[in-house]
Amino acid sequence: MTRYFFQILLALTGLIFLHCGYAGEVVRSAAPGSRNKIDTNIGGDGLFPKGLLFSPLIAAPKQPRFYTSYRLYRMPQGKTHIGAVGYGGTLGVYRWGSTLWDGTLQLDFSAAAFSQFNLDIPAPELINTDYLVGFPLTWRRGHNSARLYLYHQSSHLGPLFFLHNDPSQYALSYEAINFIWSHRWTNYRIYGGGSYLFGTTPKSLKRPEVQLGVEYYGRHILWGMARFVGGVNIQSWAQNEWTPSVSLKWGIRYTGPDLSGRRLSLLLEAFDGHSPHGEFYKYKTSYLGMGIFLGF
């Protein structure tokens, strides 16, 4: 029942995004040849504001967004070709003017689902889906921004995968509070923070996790219609003995004259560490891939 609730919630979220057509990336570069600046044209205060104060993380595996990606996984069991898809995003709910430390404060709603399909069989089989839903509280002043994110994650195996494997060893569901601070200068952005899990299933899960990363936003090219972007995201979880998991994304992003702020990116991907896919968190994995990412 919980699974269907989240599916309905995510579908409604997608309809809201399409209707509002809001600008999801508020930190943009100035014209080529000048230093990058913070875009101040992000709408006013109040209900359903335009834009986000905290820009989505490029390389974070669980960043809510729409995408489809083809990946080659290397695991202890061997190599596997995987089709990965995701849908979701973040919607600004309410914005307050200059409040905390002379910055702007905003409450958002965020929801997403991430699925992986086995492409090594004639009929691709759903392996796993992770559902996320939460409420980020974000803040920004100039080149500094922060996000306090309360969310729920639950993971569900695909029906056929569930039948072909022993399901008794798989279970993952938790609530978490995540805090990330970021700073932007010229063409780069750095961020860092961590999470604390509670309400966990299984209850033996260790709670703390740290996260940090760096992003690159290139100057506009192709008559201002595109730019190179990239990011490295590193996460270490106490449950996996603090072994770092590294996610890398690099490619080109369309940033043409779209008044609603939609962004289409073609990105190369690389990952090495413990699996970011829900119930497989205990397994070491790495992959290379290429995907199309759409942000609203």
Residue 167: per-residue pLDDT: 55
pTM value is: 0.83
What CATH code would you report for 2-295?
2.40.230.10
Scan for tokens 């270490």, then name that residue: 236
Residue 77: per-residue pLDDT: 73
Residue 20: per-residue pLDDT: 39
pLDDT along the chain (296 residues), means of 10: 42 40 36 36 76 94 96 87 95 87 93 95 90 97 96 87 60 94 96 97 93 96 90 97 97 76 90 93 94 88
Residue 28: per-residue pLDDT: 37
β-bridge partners, 95: 46, 106
202 upstream amide cis, omega within 30 of 0: yes
Largest CA distance in the chain: 58
